[in-house]
Structure 1
């Protein structure tokens, strides 16, 4: 058809015009790089109150902004040149569409459509570029409000869970691997945490380096256990009723009952004094991954690989109602209560969802991430969600889904493997957030919550 041959000719014409333009682009970039380098040297030579690392980071970020806009401008010129060439070709040859001549109105509409597509592409590119730059600024700022304080080393295998006492004295508990003998144990031992000593000043870091650690960084032999962690070998109570690995446990309000979750697809409610099974919570179609109790009410939420989480109500002894929630598309790795009327759930589908207990039909907020989310925790006072990820990151969000910060991670600090769990300890003046992972260590962090919320 005539329109096809004309388009091919126009395409060849556009292609032939691109070669010399590509050379000019390279020359422009080279000149621009020299100019940016010259400006950077001038700025560095000036007397500035900013630390060298921060000034260097700012220069790099502004350089990124300039390069992004230059690329957008060049792409804009390219696309507009193609549109003009095609329109001129179509007008000169009087080509037909569906058997009819192209009128000036049709040509104008076609050009308008092409321009609209160009505008949308520019908006999308601009949005992605500015989002990356803003994220870089946030990362730089977050180092000042999120600092690593202490690394707790002693386990010989990956750490699945970390928990902190809600009352004084503050006690940190960690769990390595799972209870493969199908039992849960209750231990009675109190030891106050020693005062952690800072191991590194995160403000001295020049940037976030994403470094993969080789196997030589983690020896296969035993890790030396610090003297500050005494060994207790005799539990006071053993809970036996599960037919599979026990993967999680939590206390009901009052401390007289405890709930456990297992790979046998059930959760069990026990009486602590007698060790007797009070209720077996059945209904999940696949293995359970987590269980959590409400801090002030007799409510339990269980998570499962069946992509659901379930809410169990024990406030009335004669009624044990259950609600099933299907808001995720992959394994629900955890679901936790907040002090208010909210439940926050995390999943391998890379989302975290905030739910209102009064209306659980749909989430009130959804957080989308770039990695699977493991056992989350929510601060009691400030309602900040700490998200541990498979990609070794820990991110902080508020309950409306706004990202607040990302904990520093580089070749000098942070987790080296998947982060499994987080736990808040807001009354601790030194370490108010803890995390643990498959790198066999737990980390205590100091989060300046006031500064974090002020930046928001």
Structure 2
């Protein structure tokens, strides 16, 4: 379950209060590519032939180097003061030890030994700092090029989830007071999960051509139109008037707790929902009837995901496990339990092949083989809790959104490819809750959202050599 670093209790309490729907559906722009404001401000007036992503990485790294050497300088001054204080103390001891003067040779030896220890400490600190800088340089410049393309703003609260349509026209949906949003695989319908113990299916209409973003569509149980003056002012790129979707075409009821996530099964005729009541439900879309209740988790569910081509479902939970449910045979609903995490499993997602990737609050991401589920085939260790991850279908790249505002990219073997840029002028400023790939759009192929009330579109360019590996 997504929680914000340093304030997990407050984040969970805030999540429990969410009882209304608010989602934003926007048309993504497949041709427009904007230079990040941070790059434009930092490099304005400079005459450089370096590519923009490389220049940005170099500026960031030089900033790190300056900060590290400033810290080393301050530590050096402090160590010098400690050496002087030690020498003064040793000199004083030399006059009184055993009632007589300490020999100059012994005093010099003792002071030299202490000075050597402090000097070694300085060398160790310097080596660790410079190694960190060099490692960061290698990770950010040699494996992938990441560039901010577009920022989508307008929500008045943090974003928990986002989704992109799989077919044309490409539409981006962002969820705020709603826990999750998923688009139908072929039709213009959106599935949302809410804190009011229900899930809803909404029909929308996209007509071409339309400005980008398409619209800011707000939904609430009280038919409240959130596209008011304050929100319009917050979204500089949005249209002056935002159409609203007020009535859901289908309401799915039967859970006894917050519905934290929902997804469409392959074909779009059934949906699965995950709830804090420790169960997942399978519904028929046409009749809205409950088909199956999936039980077995010991604590609240945090996420659910369906396989893109097969009738398979994975559900993750706070009980540190995630489960695989098989509906390929109507008479058999087999289940397998994946154990290996030590804290809440925040999400588990399928890849196009026979793999499942799971992320956890234990700061790890694990890659599993469906044919051999006893232990993960790869483990990625990070420095922060991992929220709702996503895996690109073509490049098989894992996008990791973190509590510490970072977004990192890894391949399926656990090799780090990149860290998305983040500074005062660029990137997320608070916890990143979700990531979603959109490889149909070559310009903007990855989206992220978080508690800073915005979604960001990125252009991720993985070198062909790395893709072959």
Asked if Structure 1 and Structure 2 have the same fold, meaning a TM-score greater than 0.5 normalized by the shorter chain, the answer is yes
Matches of 1:423 and 1:268, distance apart in 2:
24
Contact 1:290/1:304 (<8 A) preserved? yes
1:377-412: CA deviation from partner (whole Å, max 9, x where unpaired): 000000000000001111110000001111111111
- 1:223 pairs with 231, 235, 242, which one? 231
Contact 2:68/2:129 (<8 A) preserved? no
Q: Per the alignment, do residues 367 and 239 of structure 1 end up closer, same or farther by CA in structure 2, a change over 3 Å counting?
A: same
Structure 2 gap segments, 5+ residues each: 1-46, 80-119, 180-193, 214-228
Q: Per the alignment, do residues 452 and 437 of structure 1 end up closer, same or farther by CA in structure 2, a change over 3 Å counting?
A: farther
TM-score, reference length from structure 1: 0.67
Please name the residue that 2:351 is paired with. Answer: 338
Give the C-alpha shift of residue 431 in structure 1: 1.3
For residue 412 of structure 1, give the secondary structure of its aligned residue in structure 2: coil
Please name the residue that 1:187 is paired with. Answer: 202
Please name the residue that 1:233 is paired with. Answer: 246
Determine if the alignment matches structure 1 residue 147 to structure 2 residue 147: yes
Q: Which has the larger radius of gyration?
A: 1
Matches of 1:55 and 1:356, distance apart in 2:
38
For residue 150 of structure 1, give the secondary structure of its aligned residue in structure 2: strand
Please name the residue that 1:134 is paired with. Answer: 135
Determine if the alignment matches structure 1 residue 328 to structure 2 residue 341: yes
Please name the residue that 1:105 is paired with. Answer: none
Contact 1:293/1:300 (<8 A) preserved? yes
Aligned residues: 341
Matches of 2:332 and 2:58, distance apart in 1:
63
Write the mapping of 1:57-136 to structure 2, written as runs, cut at 5 A: 129-136=130-137
For residue 130 of structure 1, give the secondary structure of its aligned residue in structure 2: helix
Please name the residue that 1:383 is paired with. Answer: 396
Please name the residue that 2:437 is paired with. Answer: 424
Q: Per the alignment, do residues 192 and 335 of structure 1 end up closer, same or farther by CA in structure 2, a change over 3 Å counting?
A: farther
Greater fraction helix: 1
For residue 431 of structure 1, give the secondary structure of its aligned residue in structure 2: coil
Contact 1:310/1:323 (<8 A) preserved? yes
Contact 2:57/2:140 (<8 A) preserved? no
Give the C-alpha shift of residue 56 in structure 1: 6.9
Please name the residue that 2:452 is paired with. Answer: 439
1:168-202: CA deviation from partner (whole Å, max 9, x where unpaired): 211111111331211100011143796769xxxxx
TM-score, reference length from structure 2: 0.65
Question: Which shifted more, 302-311 or 408-417?
Answer: 408-417
Give the C-alpha shift of residue 135 in structure 1: 1.1
Please name the residue that 1:27 is paired with. Answer: none
Determine if the alignment matches structure 1 residue 287 to structure 2 residue 300: yes
Q: Per the alignment, do residues 430 and 60 of structure 1 end up closer, same or farther by CA in structure 2, a change over 3 Å counting?
A: closer
Matches of 2:344 and 2:49, distance apart in 1:
50
Please name the residue that 1:13 is paired with. Answer: none
Q: Per the alignment, do residues 170 and 452 of structure 1 end up closer, same or farther by CA in structure 2, a change over 3 Å counting?
A: farther
Contact 2:366/2:380 (<8 A) preserved? yes
Matches of 1:280 and 1:54, distance apart in 2:
49
For residue 434 of structure 2, give the secondary structure of its aligned residue in structure 1: strand
1:132-161: CA deviation from partner (whole Å, max 9, x where unpaired): 41213433567x821111111122211111
Please name the residue that 2:114 is paired with. Answer: none
When the two chains are superposed, the root-mean-square deviation of aligned CA atoms in Å is: 3.6
Contact 1:252/1:258 (<8 A) preserved? yes
Determine if the alignment matches structure 1 residue 164 to structure 2 residue 179: no
Q: Per the alignment, do residues 126 and 454 of structure 1 end up closer, same or farther by CA in structure 2, a change over 3 Å counting?
A: farther
Matches of 2:448 and 2:465, distance apart in 1:
18
Matches of 1:371 and 1:417, distance apart in 2:
13
Q: Per the alignment, do residues 158 and 49 of structure 1 end up closer, same or farther by CA in structure 2, a change over 3 Å counting?
A: closer
